[in-house]
Amino acid sequence: MSLDISPPLLRVGMRALAWSLFIGNADLPRARRRLNLLSSPIMRVPAGVGIESAELDGVPTEVITSSDPGSRVVLYLHGGVFTLCGPRTHRAITGHLAAAIPATVYVPDYRLAPEHPYPAAVEDSLRAYRSLLARGISAARIAVVGDSAGGCLALELALQARKENLPASAVLGLICPMVDLTDTSSGLHPRNNREPVLSPTLITRSLDAYLPSHLRHTASPLYRDLSGLPPIVLHSAGEDPLAGDAARLSENLHKAGVPLQHYDRTGMWHAFHLLSTVLAPAREALDALTDALTTATNGRRE
């Protein structure tokens, strides 16, 4: 049974969480530890969903499964502006996908900046995908999904797979993706102040830790050739500072001829899906994402 909290009250709580993470101008690794601790009470998997630890070609990975996962697989790349979060902070999403598709969900604990700057996260994501293929898992049964910075990594993975002639995943799921790492990103020029967590200051601090400025255009999927990518399910939110970048990505994908479903939720903030245990619109969005991923990975639920 889920507890529903009103969006205005949740917004206040999210602002308080963001303040508590960076109290005393905490450095990013310290804020990461605080976030893992503070998020645990609400970032939980549904009943009947199990959590195990594993490795994908040396990359520590959390494996989320339901009692009958079937043959579908989700490779989930968590967000956190390349510096924060981990598999634990995203269990509300990954657990939902595992139970509802159903699927085995692999969540790589990829290396984070500032300890491990670009391209460490990209390398770990690609190693994890290659490892799934090496296990004999058909790419047609794999959905690669990511939120925020994880959405950037999901796109980068698909671009690298295309370059290396690896089998493409059946679908990419992008939740409020971070696709422009340059100074022109809409995240650095928000239209309002209703976003509770993802501030221009946090984006700037994290990107400065992740990669030097002269690499940011090249590392931004928004400015890459997107032709030939697998079908994409894009979720955006009206009050997300990255919504402008998502709109530009949608336009570029249409121009590149990439099949696209774009789910845009007004009145919600960045990666609101994370609050599915306490927020009804988040569960509705995850249900829509689940249906799209299920269809893309062979249509019927198993």
Strands 59-65 and 104-108: antiparallel
- Mean residue pLDDT of the chain comes to 93
The whole-number pLDDT of residue 23 equals 67
- Mean pLDDT across 291-302: 76
Whether residue 20 lies in the annotated active site: no
Alpha carbon distance, N-terminus to C-terminus of the chain: 24
Mind listing the pLDDT tens digit for each residue in 191-233? 888 999 999 999 999 999 999 999 999 999 999 999 999 999 9
Span of 40-54, 72-86, 116-130 with lowest mean pLDDT: 40-54
Among 66, 125, 131, 148, which one carries the catalytic annotation? 148
Among 240, 245, 273, 276, which one carries the catalytic annotation? 240
- The structure's pTM equals 0.96
Among 78, 96, 235, 270, which one carries the catalytic annotation? 270
Whether residue 131 lies in the annotated active site: no
Whether residue 78 lies in the annotated active site: no
> In a 10 Å sphere around its CB, with 0-12 CB exposed, 13-18 middle and 19+ buried, how is residue 178 labelled?
buried
The whole-number pLDDT of residue 301 equals 40
- Mean pLDDT across 170-187: 98
